[in-house]
Structure 1
Amino acid sequence: MTVAQTKNRLGLLSLVVSIGLVAVKFYAYHLTRSQAVLTDALESIINVFTSGFALYSLYLAGLPKDENHPYGHGKVEHLSIGFEGALIFIAGVFILYSASLSLLHPHPVARPDWGVVLLAATAVVNLGVGLLLVRSGKRLKSVALVGDGQHLYIDAVTSIVSSGALVLVAATGIERFDSGAALLLGGFILVNGGRMLRRSVSGLMDETDTAVVAEVIAELQAQRRDSWIDVHNLRVQRYGSNLHIDCHIQMPYYFSLDEVHTQLHDIEELIRARFAVEVEMFVHADPCTFSACSLCLMPACPVRQHPFQHTVVWTVTNAVKDERHHLG
């Protein structure tokens, strides 16, 4: 099974589970007439729409590059998270409004025991499927699957809090526990929707993923050759699960074009071997200058003008700058 097929099957699983749990939660609301349960059920409706959109985005992200999309279709996964975050945020606003009215005018909660049983069952399912999606999403480098799984985590939390509210109402007879829990859940949902929107915007705006950049630099440092005098202006862009990397590498100016091509090919291959996703890498070769002699490890260099002093250790701080390194 291909990576794209695995992603699509996981997305379909999320959609089917979401539809089933929405039915269970609205049945629980029918039995209890609880504001907290209604809040949980409304939030779960969002799961259905977002899971469906996530499934479609996974299908698009798996399509090959074409003339209109030379970098592939992977960025649609960030759009999927933004769509999901926007719906969650809107739901949070509505839930806060509804819960506030219910807090001012509480109403009786019927059959809380059945509500607790049904919501607890949905929480267990959501946690299990959410864990599967997050783990698989991280392994497959899919932000859409990770986002969908995290949303199921949120759904599980709302179910647990709603169950707790029903237990308190049954134990104390204080109906405002139900509305208070709904108000708390509305705020929680609102904050998480905002966070997902922020993550979506970051991805669409090509915000630097420092962890991935650090991995690329660490691999170059670990596999470093004497002829790789310097690395700078390193940039990483993520297109769905795929990576686009470009950088400048300084090499001896007397290398032939064939030798430079061999070195660049080796660099690209070692980076591709490091990441379990498709990597598109463009490396620009800069000729060395005599000012780089003090940083160069090339043995028996025929044109050396200055003795070697020390190497520059490449880090996230210095390798991303658009300037060659120097002593100082």
Structure 2
Amino acid sequence: MKEKVKVAKLSILSNTGLIGIKLAAGLSTGSVSIISEAIHSTMDLAASIITFFSVKISSKPADKQHPYGHGKFENVSGVLEAVLIFIASLWIIIESAKKLINGQEVTSSNIGFIVMFLSAGVNYLVSKKLYDTSKKVDSIALEADALHLKTDVYTSLGVGAGLFLIWITDLHFLDPIIAIFVALFILKEAFTLLKVAFAPLVDVKLCDKEIELITSILNRYNFRYCDFHKLRTRKSGDKRYVDLHLVFPQDMSVKNAHDICDKIETEIEHSLKNTECMIHLESCDNNCRNCPFHTEYTSANTSRDGH
């Protein structure tokens, strides 16, 4: 949790500094594209603050009111961040359209593109740190914050390149056009983030790769049980939950069946980070033809009983 909170604080500090620089540059030059970037960074700051509190809450252990833990607070924060980005993008498009219709020149565009390139460099370093940590601790909130800043890198580079062109060509109508493209790019980011963050809130299954890993582990033990079914998976923050039913021969003792379940649960939990696995035992109805288990355990029991 300490590592999560530490990088969340770093994001807050970097966004706060960049907002001041971008806003000052935008107001002094009259560039709507720089101001749109300042708004983008303001949304990033809001997202970073939400991320900071969500990772602190999500790291709390399970309690009476939240028996499955607090992991979904990270997903809620991701959805809120996506909504903030949608609002900011629409505002940028509206303001840019007004500037395009009314016409307004950009002054000191050379200062503007220097600020944008500096912003891109800072956000690249911070987003890389956030992304690496999110993968390490499997945090959707940190990944969302990293996605924000990664997008900010591209949009800052785009605005900087546009201001450089204005400085060379003196074509000032490029400024609101660039701002609109920035907003559309941000909208795409918001949609991606909303899709990723919202899925666990409605208990979407784990990805196919993780389910294949679970089934491959089960198949390695298929000589110990008759069948498995009702495999269900879901995710809550960084926690994965797996449950299924295993069918055992009627003649197998509960202890033997339970020991097998323990082995399978342990292997699944060790193979998938932050996973809780629960297996329900079922007894075979002996309706399967040519079942090797029935013969094997019946013979073993007969020999043991002397009949």
What's the TM-score, normalizing by structure 2? 0.91
Structure 1 position 285 matched with structure 2 position 277: no
Match of 2:211 among 206, 210, 213: 213
Partner of 1:191: 188
Pairs within 5 Å for 1:175-324: 175-211=172-208, 212-221=210-219, 223-277=220-274, 279-292=275-288, 294=290, 298=293, 301-303=296-298
Give distance in 1, aligned partners of 2:161 and 2:289.
69
User: Per-residue deviation at 1:242?
Assistant: 1.0
Structure 1 position 150 matched with structure 2 position 147: yes
Deviations 1:185-241 (A, max 9, x none): 1122123223322333212111122233233223333x3241133222111111111
* CA gap 1:302/1:203 in 2 versus in 1, 3 angstroms: closer
Question: How large is the RMSD of aligned CA atoms in angstroms?
Answer: 1.8
* CA gap 1:14/1:228 in 2 versus in 1, 3 angstroms: farther
Structure 1 position 160 matched with structure 2 position 157: yes
User: Per-residue deviation at 1:98?
Assistant: 0.5
Partner of 2:120: 123
Quick check: 2:250–2:294 contact (8 Å CA) kept in 1? Answer: no
* CA gap 1:228/1:85 in 2 versus in 1, 3 angstroms: same
Question: One-letter code of the match for 1:280?
Answer: E
* CA gap 1:99/1:114 in 2 versus in 1, 3 angstroms: same
Deviations 1:21-53 (A, max 9, x none): 112211221332211111111010001111001
Deviations 1:96-134 (A, max 9, x none): 100111111221111111211111111111122212212
Which ranges in structure 1 are unaligned for 5 or more consecutive residues? 305-328
Question: One-letter code of the match for 1:284?
Answer: H
Count of residues in Structure 1 that have an aligned counterpart in Structure 2: 298
Greater CA drift, 188-197 or 87-96: 188-197
Identity of aligned residues (%): 26
User: Per-residue deviation at 1:298?
Assistant: 4.9
Which ranges in structure 2 are unaligned for 5 or more consecutive residues? 300-307
User: Per-residue deviation at 1:84?
Assistant: 0.3
Pairs within 5 Å for 1:70-81: 70-81=67-78
Report the structure, 1 or 2, having the larger helix content: 2
Quick check: 2:30–2:106 contact (8 Å CA) kept in 1? Answer: yes
Give distance in 2, aligned partners of 1:19 and 1:218.
48
Quick check: 1:219–1:274 contact (8 Å CA) kept in 2? Answer: no
Quick check: 2:251–2:294 contact (8 Å CA) kept in 1? Answer: no
Greater CA drift, 198-207 or 163-172: 198-207
User: Per-residue deviation at 1:17?
Assistant: 1.3
